[in-house]
């Protein structure tokens, strides 16, 4: 004689709860920020590559909790003059980029976009150079 389990769907409920928890590990603003970063990267590669002098890398997108403002941090390795040209190009194309991003998002309001230069990549390279210099000096002093 087989006894039916008192709660046959308990395992299904646990799995569904676990999946819901995994989906909500990030706030909505973080998930949307990652999507915006992917979309803007694609736009910069495909549509604005000719106008930008060199390669621009998006490092981070900070989206407000109300999803109305997005600050996009980017890095650029090159001369200061070219970086200023990149600043100008991004500022000039900000509305166009916002419109193109809005085509792929399912939100009530498309966030206002603001581009900001992120010097962290240059700082990291400089720290690496300094460490290499110290390493060479130490090896020279031992010889």
Looking at the domain assignment, is residue 1 inside a domain? no
Read off the CATH number of the domain in which 97 is found.
3.30.300.20
Rounded Cα gap, residues 20 and 85, in angstroms = 45
Rounded mean pLDDT, 55-72: 91
Rounded Cα gap, residues 42 and 111, in angstroms = 18
Helices of type H across the chain = 10-23, 28-46, 80-92, 94-102, 120-142
Looking at the domain assignment, is residue 79 inside a domain? yes
Count structural domains, the chain: 1
Please indicate, yes or no, whether the overall pTM of this predicted structure exceeds 0.85: no
Residue 37, domain extent: 26-142
Rounded mean pLDDT, 56-64: 91
Asked if 117 and 83 count as a contact pair (C-beta separation under 8 A), the reply is: yes
Rounded mean pLDDT, 112-127: 90
Rounded mean pLDDT, 25-44: 88
Looking at the domain assignment, is residue 11 inside a domain? no
pLDDT tens, position by position, 78-117 = 888 889 999 999 999 999 999 999 998 888 889 999 999 9
The chain-wide mean pLDDT, for the chain, equals 83
Nearest partner of 96 among 47, 28, 24, judged by Cα = 47
């Amino acid at each position: 004689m087989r006894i039916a389990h008192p709660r046959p769907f308990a395992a299904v409920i646990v799995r569904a709860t676990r999946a819901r928890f995994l989906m909500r590990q990030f706030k909505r603003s973080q998930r949307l920020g990652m999507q915006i970063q992917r979309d803007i990267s694609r736009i910069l590669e495909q549509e604005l590559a000719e106008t930008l002098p060199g390669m621009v890398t998006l490092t981070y997108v900070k989206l407000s909790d109300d999803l109305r403002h997005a600050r996009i941090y980017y890095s650029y390795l090159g001369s200061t003059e070219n970086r200023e040209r990149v600043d100008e190009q991004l500022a000039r194309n900000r509305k166009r980029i916002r419109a193109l991003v809005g085509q792929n998002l399912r939100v009530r309001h498309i966030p206002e976009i603001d581009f900001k230069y992120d010097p962290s990549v240059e700082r990291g390279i400089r720290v690496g150079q300094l460490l290499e210099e110290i390493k060479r000096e130490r090896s020279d002093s031992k010889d």
